[in-house]
Each structure stands twice: as structure tokens, then as C-alpha cells.
Structure 1
Amino acid sequence: MSAAAAARDAGPAPDARSAPERPAPDAAVNRVRAVRARGRRRCATVAAVLVVLVVALVVVTLTLGPFKVALVDVVRILGGEQIPGATFIVMEQRLPRLLVALGVGAAFGASGTIIQTLVRNPLASPDVIGITAGASAAAVLGMTVGGLGAVAVAPVAFGGALVTAAGIYVLARRGTISGYRFVLVGVGVAAVLNAVTAWGLTRAEVTEASRALVWITGSLSRASWDQVPVLWAALAVLLPLAALAALRLRALELGDDAAAGLGARVEPAKAGLLVVAVALAAVATAAAGPVAFVAFLSGPLARRLTGGGVSLGASALTGACLVLAADLVATSLLPTALPVGVVTGVLGAPVLLWLLARANRSGEGG
């Protein structure tokens, strides 16, 4: 057979232009880098906006209230000048309350995000799965049965949260942690602990029950300079640990198999992350009581703002904004002053119902 006939039988030569173009490896790497750079820029922008919002809320909190203080006077007072009446209000009432609110919001925000990401379930926040219920039960029993004061209640609440979290972890863990099993076990434990809290309230005197009821609602009314060093010293240790833990959190967010493939020790990493998250929730609960739904709302809101990525910094700032704004509404914008937990509960309950309805429609709710 001649060469011309062989070429004719083989058909036309493939056109290189008709084949799909494959991006060069360098181009694909550059695209990934560009996407990551955009994500980092968005996170930085969101963090900057949240910082500005926190500063604005701080200014409004220090100036607004039943006794209004001009911003110039606030600056003079913070600089050390004594202004009769205004100095006491700013330095002894508003500033310690403000610092406690900032710390509590940041701790709840970071804690909720870690747990929600870890079990890949938006319902898994400390106030939904029973961790804060454990702190409340321990605190109420300490107040009503043990006769403890406000200062002694804090470590009792901290211990109650840690013991409850350990119990939930043991009951929910079967080889690995399942998100919905973790939530369901937590909800069941929370129901038992709420019954214990109610029992403690029924056995207390009226004054003790009233004091305990305000605490378990979530309130900043007892915030003082005695709490500020303890709270912020704990946060100075826990928040950097949470930032380090976030490096593992990004791998675990991909799933246990993918995280193991990337070299992560899955179960030790989960246990360490849970310890940090529970410690943050326990510190916040010990300082201000179980302020409802701050941990639950902060993570999803931060994800929306950052475009879906996990950012503990954005979550902590979102939690701080929520507590500051709710406390401002509860103390200055309503006819009657209310505990901050009442306002956050009103905000969080509809979101919880919406998430449950969405999970039920999509068949994820079991």
C-alpha cells in the first residue's frame, strides 16, 4: 500500500485547535493563589469593619444611658481627670460592664464557631447542646443549696461546663464524633440539666431564687472590676490557643478522611479543639451567665460576611458586637432595663427555628 493510500484510510489529521485547551500548571496555581488572596482580603476587610463597629458601640455605650456623658468628658475621664458624678458612672459602672461584655462576646463567638465547624452542624453551639446548661445547673445549686456568693459561683459554673462537655463527648463518641449524634446527645443532656436547675430554684428562698434567675438568664448587671482581670487573663491564654487550633480546624472541616490524608491526627485534634471551645464557653458563662444564642449566631453571621470561610477572629468580633448591641438595647433603648440574655434570646430563637425548618425540608434533620 502506498503512503498516500495509508494516509487516506487513516482519515484527516486531528486539528490541534479543536482539542480542549488545558490550563498550564502554573496558570492553575495562579488561580488558586488569586482565590486565596481574595479570601484573605475579604476577611481582612470584614475584620476591619467589625473593629470599627465595636469601637462605635463602645463609644455609644460609654456616652449613652440614663445619665448621658459627653464624648469629650469620657475622653477626659479615661485620661485620669475627675469629673464629679460622671467619673463614677464611667469608671465604676459602664467601663467594667463594657469590658466584661467584650470578653464574653468574643469568647462565646469563638467557642460556638469551633464546635459548629468541628461537628459540621450549625446547631452545635454551647447554648444548644447543653454546655451552658451544665454551668447554669452548677451555679444555681451553688447559690441556692451551697449559699455561694457571686465571686465563688464563677469557678463552680466553670467546672459544671467542663464536666457536662466531657459527659456529652463520652456519650456521643463511638469511634468518631457524628454531628447529629453530638447535637442530639447534647439536647438530651441539656433537658436533664434544665430540670436540675428548676429543682434548685424551687428549693431556694425567694431572694436566692431571684438572684439565680437573673444569672441564668444572662446578665451583665453584676459586672465589676473584680471580674475583668480574671476574664481577660483567661482569654489571653485561650484566644491564642484557639487561633492555633484554627489551623487544624481548616483541615477537619474537609472531613475526617481528608484531614487524615493531610496528615492530621483527627481524634486528638478534635479533643483538643473541644477542650479550648468548652473552656471559652465556660469562662464566658462564669462571667455573665449563659447569654443565649451569642455562640449560636456568631459563627453563621461571620461565615456570611467572610464568604463562607472559617475565621475565628471575625466570629469573636461578631460575638462582641452582638453582646454590646444587645446590652445597649436592653439598658438604654427599652422602657425597662432587661438582662442582656433576654434580647439575645429574642434575636436567636427565630434563627434556630429557621435552621430547624430548613434542615427538615432538605431531609437533613433525620
Structure 2
Amino acid sequence: MREHTITQIKSGRRNRLRRWILVNSLLILLACVLCIAMLMIGNTIYPASDVIRVLMGEPVDGATFAVNTIRLPRMLAGLFAGIAFGIAGNTFQTMLRNPLANPDILGITAGSSVAALICILIFRTSNTTISIAAVLAGLATVVIIYILAKGKSFSVGRLILVGIGIQAMLSAVISYLLLIGAQQDLATALRWLSGSLNGSQLQAITPLMITVVICAPIVMLLGSQLSLLELGEQAATSLGLNTNKTRMLLILSSVAMIAVATATTGPIAFVAFLSGPIAKRLVGPGYSNVLPAGLVGLNLVLAADLIGQFAFEVRFPVGIITGLLGAPYLIYLLIRMNRKGSL
């Protein structure tokens, strides 16, 4: 009987591992298809052979400029921003054990947005300064929310409510900045606020690429510890986890990715909110959800950008398409949580 139980446990674990590998492999394959499509499709459609020749450094009339200057930076911006939003959103949702606890709802994205808009509309600084200001503002927002929500004892529900309040206040600040901004800067600010990959340049997305390359592996390596935090503070501590150190590393890495991604592409709506739940449904329980969430995030951004650019007569920024996808899910989630008494 005991051997039979052990065999069943091992079999279940192997099945979950196979499912995890299969889902991630399919997500990677889909990401490759979307990346190729973004390089091939535009006002002029270039065959894959021409795109490959351009990427190999061979000059091709027309295709060289279109691919290297416009399409490749746009694709890389969407890819790395999607990974950043997906992993960071999943981290907050898992760590705080609530699907509403993501950077969009908590006001972290809005904090970075305020800092970026101040740099764009008032000081007219460089992209590097915008990224630094966005990171610092995102960290400051997290600290403020935590202090206000702490009280006598930590409460996830209180933290979410405080985050929603901070988000509303920062949204008002954003509206005020748009009112006082110079007319010539408003187009840039509004494009940025909608969440857009338009006008992406390699030098502008370099900070985002570096941040994701550094921070994403840190969160992935802490994936098992993140799963322990989902069990609760007492359970994680009893299993030998240094919760304060782990939580600090996860928060710093996630906020850095969210802030730099927001500074680079603008606040692409609901990607951080949707990626974790979708990935969890796909891979199921048993293994870390960090990598699948990042892959779902990049696929959401790339697919939404292609839809926004070519599915309608008018071209829409990527943030509008992801917003249309995420808003109904948010309403559904709020109704479900209210019925369960989770709010």
C-alpha cells in the first residue's frame, strides 16, 4: 500500500513536470512566431528570408531600414516589457496571495508614471533619467503603501485598499500634469500614457533589457521561495525561509522591472494583472509560475500590438488592446471575490 502511494505521488509529479515543460515550450514557440510576425509585417510585408538576411547583417533594399530601425526595436521593447510586467505582476499576486495585488491596482505603476511625466513635461530629461526617476518613484510608492497599510498588524486587504487609494490620488496628479504641460510635449506624454511601442529605439530600450536580464533570473531563482510565501508568513517561517530577506529581494527586483518597463513603453494596461492567472491556469499547481507568467506577458504584449496595428482600420496603441482584454476580467474577479466575501 505504501509503495503504491509513493508510486502515485511520483507519477503525479512527473505528469505535472511534463505539463509544465509542454506549456512553457508552446509559449516559447508562440513567442517566436509573434516575434517573426512583428519583423515581417508592416506597411510592406517582407519574406522571412529577407528578414533573416537583414538580421545577419546583409543589406537588403528597403528591408534593412524597416527591420533594423523600426520593427526590431519595437519587437524587443514588447518582448522585454511583457516579461517584466508578467513576472512582476505574478510575483506580487503570489507573494500577497491575492489576484488584485498587482502593480496596476496597487498604484506602483501610477507612481512610476507620475515621475516619468514630471521628467517628460516639466524637466524634459533624457530617457535614462526618466528610467531612474521611475524606478525611485516605484520604490517610494511601495514604501508609502506598506507604511500606511501596516498599522498594528500587516493585512493584505488593507494594503490593497491603501494601494487603490494611492492609485486614485496619483491618477489625479497625472491629470494635473497633463493640464499644465506644454502643448508640444503632450503628444509624447499621451502616447506614453496609453502604453505604446511606437517610436521604440534600441538605445532607449537598453535599460529595460539590462534590468530584465538581471532581475528576471533573480525572481526565477527565488521561485520556490515565492511558492512558500504563498502558504503564509507562519508556514513559510516554519519551513526555514527567511521571509524578510526573500520578500525584499522579490519586491526590489519586481519594482525595478515594472518601473523601467513603465518608463520605456508606458503603463501597458492589465498585462501584469492577467499574466499570472492565465499562466497558473495553463501550467497547473506544483511548479513555479514565474517563467510561464513572463512568457504569457510577452505573448500578450506582442499579440496585442499586432492586433492594434493591423486588425482595425485605425491603429491603436498596445495598451488600449490589453485594456480591453483586462477590464472585463477585473470586473468578473471583483464580482466573484465579493460573492466569496474576500473583499
Q: CA deviation at 1:261?
A: 1.4
**1:325 corresponds to which of 303, 308, 314:** 303
Match of 1:160 among 126, 137, 140: 137
Partner of 2:327: 349
- Is 1:178 equivalent to 2:155 in the alignment? yes
Would the alpha carbon gap of residues 202 and 103 (structure 1) be closer, same or farther in structure 2, given more than 3 Å must change?
same
Name the aligned partner's letter for residue 152 of structure 1: T
- Structure 1 letter corresponding to 2:179: T
Per mean C-alpha deviation after superposition, the further-off stretch among 79-88 and 95-104 is: 79-88
Q: Indicate the RMSD between aligned Cα atoms, in angstroms.
A: 1.5
Q: Distance in 2 between matches of 1:177 and 1:114?
A: 18
- Matches of 1:204 and 1:286 in 2, distance apart? 18
Gaps in structure 2 of 5+ consecutive residues: none
Q: What is the CA-CA distance between 1:239 and the residue it aligns to?
A: 1.1
- Tell me what 2:341 maps to: 363
Q: Residue 247 of structure 1 aligns with which residue?
A: 224
Of residues 23, 27, 44, the one that matches 1:46 is 23
TM-score normalised per structure 1: 0.90
Alpha-carbon distance between aligned partners in 1 of 2:154 and 2:199, rounded to the nearest angstrom? 38
Residue of structure 2 aligned with 1:274, choices 227, 231, 251: 251
Give the match for residue 315 of structure 1.
293
CA distance change for structure 1 residues 175 and 99 in 2, over 3 Å: closer, same or farther?
farther
In structure 2, which of residues 279, 300, 304 is the aligned counterpart of residue 302 of structure 1? 279
Identify the structure with the greater helix proportion.
2
> Hey, what does 1:78 align to over in structure 2?
55
CA distance in 1, matches of 2:310, 2:190: 22
In structure 1, the residue matched to 2:82 is 105
Deviations 1:149-182 (A, max 9, x none): 4453222222211211121122223466422222
CA distance in 2, matches of 1:168, 1:38: 41
Summarize the Cα distance change of 1:272–1:173 in structure 2 as closer, same or farther, 3 Å threshold. Answer: farther
In 1: Cα distance, 2:38 partner to 2:225 partner: 37
Cα offsets for 1:56-101 (capped at 9, x unmatched): 1111111112111111111121122111211100111000110111
Distance in 1 (CA, whole Å) between partners of 2:81 and 2:53 is 27
Aligned-partner residue type, residue 294 of structure 2: A
One-letter code of the match for 1:163?
A
Q: Which segment is superposed worse, 96-105 or 260-269? A: 260-269
Q: Single out whichever of 111-120 and 242-251 deviates more from structure 2.
A: 242-251
Taking the aligned partners of 1:273 and 1:314, their CA distance within structure 2 comes to 17
2:189 corresponding residue in structure 1: 212
Q: Specify the SS of the correspondent of 1:93.
A: helix
> Which is higher, the Rg of structure 1 or of structure 2?
1
Tell me, in whole angstroms, the C-alpha distance in 2 between the residues paired with 1:158 and 1:273. 15
1:289 aligns with 2:262: no
Aligned position for 1:68 = 45
Equivalent residue, structure 1, for 2:203: 226
Equivalences for 1:250-269 in 2 at 5 Å? Answer: 250-269=227-246
Residue-by-residue CA offset, 1:181-225 (whole Å, 9 max, x unaligned): 221111111111111111111111222222211111111113111
- C-alpha displacement at 1:354, in angstroms? 0.4
Look up the equivalent residue of 2:247 and give its one-letter code: K
Deviation by residue 1:217-270 (Cα, 9 ceiling, x = unmatched): 111113111024322221111011111221211111112221111111223322
Secondary structure class of the residue paired with 2:212: helix
Q: Relative to structure 1, is the Cα distance of residues 128 and 240 closer, same or farther in structure 2, using a 3 angstrom cutoff? A: same
Aligned to 1:34: 11
1:90-122 Cα offsets, whole Å, 9 max, x none, are 111000110111000001100000100001100
Residues 326/27 of structure 1: CA separation in 2 closer, same or farther (3 Å cut): same
Distance in 1, Cα, partners of 2:170 & 2:187: 19
In structure 2, give the amino acid aligned to 1:317.
L
Distance of 1:111 and 1:165 partners within structure 2: 13
* 2:92 matched residue in structure 1: 115
CA distance in 2 between counterparts of 1:351 and 1:268 reads: 33
Q: Give the Å deviation of 1:34.
A: 2.2
Provide runs of 4+ in structure 1 moved above 6 Å. Answer: none
Does the 8 A contact of 1:119 with 1:177 survive in 2?
no
1:125 to 85, 92, 102: 102
Aligned residues: 342
Contact in 1 for aligned 2:208/2:264 (Cα 8 Å): yes
CA distance in 2, matches of 1:324, 1:117: 24
Task: For 1:151 and 1:256, locate their aligned partners in 2 and report how far apart those are by CA, in whole Å.
Answer: 37
Structure 1: tracts of 5 or more residues without a match: 1-22
TM-score (ref. length: structure 2): 0.95
CA distance in 2: counterparts of 1:328 and 1:177, whole angstroms: 42
> What's 1:335 paired with?
313
> What's the CA shift string for 1:274-332, capped at 9, x where partnerless?
22221121121121111100000000000000114541111000000000001111122
